[in-house]
Amino acid sequence: MKDRFYMVFIEGENTPTAQYDNLKEAEKEAQRLADKFGKSMRVLKCASASLIKPDGITVKVDSFETALEFLGRDNNVCMCGIPDKHEKAMVAMYKLITIAEAWNKADNFVPNFSNRNQYKWFPWFMYDDKSTGFMSDTPDYSASYVAASLGSRLCFSTSKRAEQFGKQFIDLWNDFLKY
């Protein structure tokens, strides 16, 4: 990325039209747009900028259906023999495990519980009486143990990823955790 560039903004809009390498190009485009739309334009000189890329997995896998698609699977869940009162929780757990598997595949993370140096991060929850449900809390990690209440299928490579998973799918977590 260049150290200096220019951007044209249409008055009243928050998004620039494009990025230009020199002031002359940017001013020419600003005049063209001003004439076309009858609005004022601003040309901003930027000394530097950081390129921030979106967190790819949320774009690729943001639901159970996209997780199945990402993994190349059909939804063939069968809750045969599960009592009705547990079916909602088991379906939620199946969905959480499937989404977590897709996220870890996208992150190239394979949990290895024989490797004590590999951190495995888990979403962590606190019960909130006001909302009568669980809320995502600070993630926890383990290099050598797994909390039995969470299970090894729901761990991630980073704290950020575990927290994101807990927050983004809190409805599924509540379906699973609440009796």
Query: pLDDT tens for residues 98-108?
Result: 999 999 999 88
Residue 132 — very low, low, confident or very high, per pLDDT cuts 50/70/90? low
Q: Under a CB-based contact definition with an 8 Å cutoff, are residues 68 and 98 in contact?
A: yes
Domain count, the chain: 2
pLDDT tens digit string along 51-101?
655 555 666 789 999 999 999 998 877 778 888 888 899 999 999 999 999
Cα separations (Å) of 115 from 50, 72, 91, 128, 156? Answer: 36, 29, 31, 35, 14
Residue 18 included in any domain: yes
For the chain, the first-to-last Cα distance in angstroms comes to 53
> Which single residue is written with the structure tokens 């939620």?
92
Q: Same domain, yes or no, for 88 and 117?
A: yes
Task: Identify the residue with better confidence: 176 or 151.
Answer: 176
Indicate whether 147 pLDDT > 50: no
Query: Amino acid identity, residue 69?
Result: E
Residue 3 — very low, low, confident or very high, per pLDDT cuts 50/70/90? low
Residue 75 included in any domain: yes
Q: Same domain, yes or no, for 35 and 60?
A: no
Q: Same domain, yes or no, for 145 and 166?
A: yes
Locate all alpha helices (DSSP H) within 15-158, ordered by sequence: 23-37, 56-60, 64-71, 84-106
| Domain boundaries, position 110 | 56-177
Q: Same domain, yes or no, for 150 and 84?
A: yes
Q: Same domain, yes or no, for 36 and 116?
A: no
Q: Same domain, yes or no, for 66 and 116?
A: yes
* R_g of the chain computed on alpha carbons: 24
Q: Same domain, yes or no, for 83 and 121?
A: yes
Look at the pTM and tell me if it is higher than 0.85. no
Q: Same domain, yes or no, for 83 and 103?
A: yes
Note the pLDDT of residue 21: 85
Residue 51 included in any domain: no
Q: Same domain, yes or no, for 67 and 117?
A: yes
Q: Same domain, yes or no, for 42 and 62?
A: no
Q: Same domain, yes or no, for 23 and 60?
A: no
Mean pLDDT of 22-45: 86
Neighbours of 143 (CB within 10 A): 11
10 strand-pairing partners = 41
